[in-house]
Structure 1
Amino acid sequence: MDGHSLSASLQGFERLDMMEDATSGLKAIIAIDQTRLGPALGGCRMWMYASEEAAILDALRLARGMTYKSALAGIPYGGGKAVIIGNPATDKSSRLFRSLGRFIERLNGRYITGMDLGTTPLDMDEILHETRHVTDVTGSLGATGHFTAEMTAYGVYIAIRTSLKQKYGSEQLQQRTVAVQGLGKVGFALCRYLHQSGAQLIVADLDNRLVQLAATQFGAAPVAVDVIHKQPCDVFAPCALGGILNDLTIPELKCQIVAGAANNQLAEPRHDALLKQAAILYAPDYAINAGGIIVTAAELDGSSASYAQSQVERIGDTLASIYGKSAGTAPGTLPPAAAADAITRKLIGL
């Protein structure tokens, strides 16, 4: 990434720290977007990035998403993210996470980390040796069973029902078909909620074991990962990696609603408008996948699991407000993601 590109990407961000520690093998980035509403909150992701540039861009996008997610959910925190460049299956060590913990401690509470893709409560336990600015440690609310994933899925489930009501006038899932892309902890839990409400499921994942499990438990119809978005359905629920809504895939969609747990689903902001032009109702990802950050905020505040769930249930009202702002085709009417951004920027004071 050249200096000009990095400067453009950093616009509006408070800071970006790049760190290397030869002793532990740590190579990581911490991005802090905003701390206007409180300390930057966002998990630590470990991934085999193709390049340092890809890791930086991911950290920046995810940190910005955490700012918006927290503000829209009414949580008094800003947005941040840590990404470690490495293979979570082979490159982890106590020294690596302790080294990251020391870097986080030097930020003097401006950034609070937690679990994310590729990290676990045991990794957070190592960070805790060096700093108290960490969540999801062993025994905490966020590390109890799969509660964080369950609440993220629950929020998306509520959003799907809200979207059905907006589109069809009824939130009922009987006779509705949902195509779920990605069967990780969140995607699989979402399938369970949908199945229990009577939805017909179409599923895809790179792990065929999970696909077969969904077929057995939920009567889901399996399809290949490269065609899941093309399936005729009422709702397409992306629950894997971001960028799935782009110039190639949007014309291929055969759904009426897109509502899923994946972060950064729009490849570019303009794809929000393309979905609206195609008469596809889009539930902005950061508005509906906030269950995890709501659990983390509850943990930091010492609140209970039942309180966290009650806060997740507010996602439906938030989404309904966004749809109200983006309804219609009058000149100047914003598509849903742009409407959510406008609401969020006002909350942040930008």
Structure 2
Amino acid sequence: MARAENSGDEVSSEPPPRRARGGSVTLRDVARFAGVSSATVSRVMNNPEAVSEQLRARIEVAIKHLGWVPSAAARALATQRTGTIGAIFPTVANEHYASAIQSLQEAFEQQGYTLLLGCSEYETDRELRQVRKMLERGVDAFVVVGDTHRPELYPLLEQRETPVVSTFNYSAKSHVPCVGVDNYRAFFDLTTYLLELGHRSFGMLAQSADSNDRARARREGVRDALAVQGLGMNPAHFVEGFWSVNEGRRLFRQVVDSPKRPTAMICGNGSFAMGAMLEAMSCGIDVPREMTIAGFDDFELMAELPIPITTVRVPSVEIGRKAAEMIIAQLDGKQVESLEFRAELIVRASSAPPPKKR
């Protein structure tokens, strides 16, 4: 039997357990095998700096030999927390959502939390079902996207005193703490930039706004910026659809096949912008001499196309990291305030004055 260090640990006189399946091994078994108390094993797991390196190594050998995995159920019973955070995103195929998810995971891991991910596919009913399932599993808090949800979602979380942070949008009217950009302001400013170049005829490839408040805010930003100049958009030049590069190509073709094509095409997301650029090249449209194309998201490929695309950049990594900080602060009983990140306009080769102004 290994001797206990001078730490006040009681050495068990029972024989060490045989190596068994991890599910049948307990913390007490590990303590007996290492010749220490159960409290010492707990201390090594929760605060390893509090014990000597030699003692920590001995316990780690016991854990490895026995294949022990701490019981999440036991920990949850003791702390009233499961150490898991739920995150519901519309999709993981979007480059910026993927970056934010990775940032969230890294930040939560550093604080000892595990991220549990759901994908709603922009369906609010599906999102609510996923939230309920995660609540059944005892998640401690939630990260969601935007502010368009089933009306019972936020009251449900409030009733259960479950912290939540909304991401990728900023609004002073948000019902919960939020972190992101003001999508309305981002597209108002983008449209103003194109107006300053001299454009007066605009088209827009808009993402469906049925369950997407960010897409709705972007189209309103475009319309209001035009209205300030006494302008509107030809109904034939405003089209909407679900996001994808292929959809962007189809919608772009629909607009340019209409009479008197616009000189500036604003795309509501990065996939539409890349689809529009590819279709413009296929149609033989000279970008930006004949038409300016501008987009959103700033996906990596947008800067690598033969004609790099002017776009609005969203700091997705920073949004994910800050959302994690806000969640952890709430779990620690602190009050948090919403935070707005500034969307950045990245001007590239796809934008120029219209032909008559050149």
TM range (shorter): 0.3 to 0.5
Compute the TM-score of the two structures, normalised by the length of structure 1: 0.43
Compute the TM-score of the two structures, normalised by the length of structure 2: 0.42
- Of the two, which has the highest radius of gyration? 2
